Amino acid sequence: MVVSSGSRGGGVVQKLVIDANPGIGDALAIVLAMRDPGVEVLGLTATAGRVAGPVATRNIQAVIDAIDPSRRPRVGSSNAMASPLASAELLDGPNGLGGWDVPVVELHQRHESARLLVEIVRDQPHEVTLLTLGPLTNVSLASEMASDFFELLGGLVCLGGAVGVGGDVSAVSEFNILAGAESARRVLSCAVTKTMVPLDVSRRLVMSPDQYRRLRERVGGRLADLLDGLLPHWFRMHHESLGIEGVVMPAVAALAAVTQSRLFACESMHVDVELTGNLTRGMTVMDRRGESRSLANVDVCTEIDGQGVIDYTSRLLAGPLAG
């Protein structure tokens, strides 16, 4: 499991950049990261995926403005189109953030996401963990811009792929990988320490209505207003569209894999991405054979303590900083 800037013990703060495509789930993960006293969020970079790049950029800035952190991360922008695979409106609504009336925001200075990734990693070599919550396009572009990008990156945690549960946009392919399959293959073959949080694990993190109700009663102020704009819509759409009583939180699971790694079990595997199959493009091929151990290139999360992650979420949202 990736650990940047040392372990969580001894007051060491993790330096984190999140490449995201908000989406309610990504927005919630961003809020948690910015409220975690053990994390310094250096940057939030927008990527296109289920929502278009400009929408992701706006949503990131709007979430930052809504919670008004004492230290604001740098923001990377994207102008790329949403993936043709996207069906974000199913759960997240047309603006990506549910029932929240997203304010109009303007970036004071525009920094293209991939270039900002390179700047941050070069400013603090070997100290930064990069968490990706969407397709790996920005990461691949950053490595093309700077040949030393992966060498200088402290660690990489990717939400994506599937080991044994099938896909979510095809029988075998997960959205984040299929939406940028060539980029994913390039990134997964790089030498940096990598952790993957696949569907097998991320879809098992579910917050029930009762858990959220108890949490919401303990939150006030600006944060309460933001949660009221995001979560009721999300719960309703999970029920109406998926028949689930609760919300599935893959992005929160991926954040916890960085900040609360003790809540996960991982297995080292050799992982590749299928690019040519008519039925299998975007499939993450996980080689778990004993003889392939020496070729392992990714630590793949295989187990999650879901209640532990829910408790972590509740502490950050309803703790001393709440409101």
| DSSP secondary structure of 141-190 | HHHHH-TTHHHH--EEEEE---SSS--SSSSSB-HHHHTTHHHHHHHHTS
Q: Of 10, 25, 2, 9, which Cα lies nearest the Cα of 252? A: 25
In this prediction, residue 292 carries a pLDDT of 66
- State the pTM of this model: 0.94
With 80 as the cut, is the pLDDT of residue 290 above it? no
With 70 as the cut, is the pLDDT of residue 162 above it? yes
Per-residue pLDDT reduced to its tens digit, 11-52: 678 999 999 999 999 999 999 999 999 999 999 999 999 899
In this prediction, residue 295 carries a pLDDT of 85
| Angle, alpha carbons 117-176-141 (nearest 5°) | 30
Per-residue pLDDT reduced to its tens digit, 93-140: 888 898 888 877 776 678 999 999 999 999 999 999 999 999 999 999
User: Which stretches does DSSP call E strand in the chain?
Assistant: 14-20, 39-46, 74-77, 111-112, 128-132, 155-159, 194-197, 206-207, 247-248, 264-273, 284-287, 298-304
In this prediction, residue 10 carries a pLDDT of 45
- The whole-number average pLDDT for the span 66-94 is 85
The mean-pLDDT minimum among 7-16, 233-242, 311-320 falls in 7-16
Q: 147, 121 in Cβ contact below 8 A? A: no
Per-residue pLDDT reduced to its tens digit, 183-226: 999 999 998 999 999 999 999 999 999 999 999 999 999 999 99
In this prediction, residue 288 carries a pLDDT of 82
Kindly state the DSSP code that residue 87 receives in the 8-state scheme. -
Q: Of 315, 259, 264, which Cα lies nearest the Cα of 15? A: 259
How far apart (Å, rounded) are the C-alpha atoms in residues 20 and 251? 9
Domains parsed from the chain with CATH numbers: 9-318 (3.90.245.10)
Compute the mean pLDDT over every residue in the chain, rounded to the nearest whole number: 91
Percent of the chain at pLDDT > 90 equals: 80
